[in-house]
Amino acid sequence: MPVLASLAVNLTISSNLLMALGIPYDAPGGSWLVKLHPASWLALLSGVLLLARDRQPVTTVRRLLAAEAATCAFLALMAVCVLFTAVATGSDNAVVFLDTFMPAGVLALVASQAGPRARRRCGLLVLGLLAGNALLCLGETLAGRHLLTVYLADQPLIEPPGEFRGTALYDHPLTGATLTAMGVFMLPATRLARAVRAGLLALFLVGLLGFGERTALAATLGTLALRGGLRCVARLRSGRLRGRDLAAGVTAALAIAGLIGGLLAWTSIGERIRLRAYWDASAATRSVEWQALGLLDIREALFGVGYARLAALAAQLDLRVAFGGFETLWLLMFLHLGAFGGVFFLIGFGTLLIGLWRRSAATGRMMLVVVIAVASASNSLARKSDILSVLVPCLYAVMPDPRRGFRLPVR
């Protein structure tokens, strides 16, 4: 139950709502009690209940260490990152690992022990909330107004003409686009009727346009096209490719292209993608942000920089973009941790990703690749974000082996 509650809170209660309620979740400074998202506390509660389930926490820990070694190693190394950044650069950097990475590891442990019914409920809950947020995004886009005020750190966002993007109940359009892309790759593993799956696929693709994130849209469409092409080649080699299968694939591709093209041409949905298809402030930032490495002294290169110094570097490079000015995950993580701390992060994060990759089937692997590709082109995982805490349960939801996590039964 806490896992379902954590997912529901992640997909409905954003930093924007917390800030609107007067909770300084994204404001500089303040108590750690309000710096962690409510969903992170629920994830922690789910871990505590897992340990207490059999009233033998020591035995449970030993069993998890043996069966879930990769996840346990990830959690241990993220804890090292918390301590390292708290000592080297301050608690503002440390809270990123506490709120973005460690809850995902706890949810992975709990998900690995979940039963079939819990797996189905989890997957269906995520799909339902993703669909609801996609509808809200489309409503915002057509109305030209946000349901909730969007905050960048502690300042309300003022969007220039042509830059409006739906946000729904998420903290940022990028988060909405990334999570919506996950829904696209969950659909093939459901037992929903084919017409329902087709409708949800169309809704998610239109939602990607509404969120206005080019990388997420391109990565999702490209991966779907690659998947379809590889399946056709495999069937052709095995002699199982039929004319009606090929016709259905071509029809689906044309329908998707027509839907997206029509919306871009005749509606306000996807206006930012149409107007900023090649170059904008984010692209300009990425072209110069790596010059920050040349501005670091030896200590900063080894141990990272704090938020005040990060803002100074952004100002020195004239980066006027949200979330500190730096738009690339790996660069921002290096600036947070330096060379020493970065080693712990890369080993820990890589361990988690490799473990998830090995357990996942094709659908889960595509989801994982798309999310990491989108995250690498942004700073989403280098700040407080719920993307990883939703991704991990979603991956378990489409894993083929019930002993290795929960899945939605394949029709």
pLDDT at 409 over 70: no
- pLDDT value of position 408: 43
- Averaged pLDDT score across all residues of the chain: 83
Mean pLDDT of 83-101: 87
Residue given tokens 């100002």 in the structure block: 315
- Tell me whether residue 105 is in a domain: yes
Are the C-beta atoms of residues 351 and 208 closer than 8 Å to each other?
A: no
- Tell me whether residue 64 is in a domain: yes
> What pLDDT digit, counting tens, does each position of 168-184 carry?
999 888 999 999 999 99
Q: Which domain holds residue 12?
A: 2-404
Are the C-beta atoms of residues 360 and 368 closer than 8 Å to each other?
A: yes
pLDDT at 69 over 70: yes
> What pLDDT digit, counting tens, does each position of 342-384 carry?
999 999 999 999 999 998 888 899 999 999 999 988 888 888 8
- Tell me whether residue 409 is in a domain: no
- Tell me whether residue 410 is in a domain: no
Are the C-beta atoms of residues 374 and 213 closer than 8 Å to each other?
A: yes
pLDDT at 305 over 50: yes
Mean pLDDT of 227-246: 70
- Tell me whether residue 75 is in a domain: yes
pLDDT band at 313 (very low <50, low <70, confident <90, very high): confident
CA 210 to mean position of chain CA atoms: 17
Gyration radius from the chain CA atoms? 21
Question: How many whole angstroms separate alpha carbon 141 and alpha carbon 263?
Answer: 12
Are the C-beta atoms of residues 106 and 46 closer than 8 Å to each other?
A: yes
- pLDDT value of position 387: 94
Comparing 33-47, 301-315, 328-342, which segment has the lowest mean pLDDT? Answer: 301-315
Mean pLDDT of 200-216: 88
DSSP string, 61-130: HHHHHHH-HHHHHHHHHHHHHHHHHHHHT-HHHHHHIIIIIHHHHHHHHHHHT--HHHHHHHHHHHHHHH
- pLDDT value of position 404: 43
pLDDT band at 411 (very low <50, low <70, confident <90, very high): very low
- Tell me whether residue 411 is in a domain: no
- Tell me whether residue 367 is in a domain: yes
> What pLDDT digit, counting tens, does each position of 249-275 carry?
677 777 777 777 776 666 667 666 666
Total tally of structural domains belonging to the chain: 1
Tell me whether residue 362 is exposed, middle or buried, using C-beta atoms within 10 angstroms of its C-beta: 0 to 12, 13 to 18, 19 or more: middle
pLDDT at 86 over 60: yes
- pLDDT value of position 247: 67
Element (H, E) at 151: strand 151-152
Q: What is the identity of the amino acid at 166?
A: G
Residue given tokens 């041409």 in the structure block: 265
pLDDT band at 403 (very low <50, low <70, confident <90, very high): very low
DSSP string, 176-190: HHHHHHHHHHHGGG-
DSSP 380: G
Sequence-separated (6 or more) residues with CB below 8 Å from residue 277: 214
Are the C-beta atoms of residues 108 and 392 closer than 8 Å to each other?
A: yes
Question: How many whole angstroms separate alpha carbon 156 and alpha carbon 150?
Answer: 6
- Tell me whether residue 219 is in a domain: yes
CA neighbor of 93 nearest in space, from 103, 84, 102, 80? 84
- pLDDT value of position 29: 65
Q: Which of the pair, 127 or 271, is modelled with greater confidence?
A: 127
Are the C-beta atoms of residues 404 and 360 closer than 8 Å to each other?
A: no
- pLDDT value of position 405: 38
pLDDT at 154 over 80: no
Sequence-separated (6 or more) residues with CB below 8 Å from residue 49: 2
Mean pLDDT of 65-89: 91
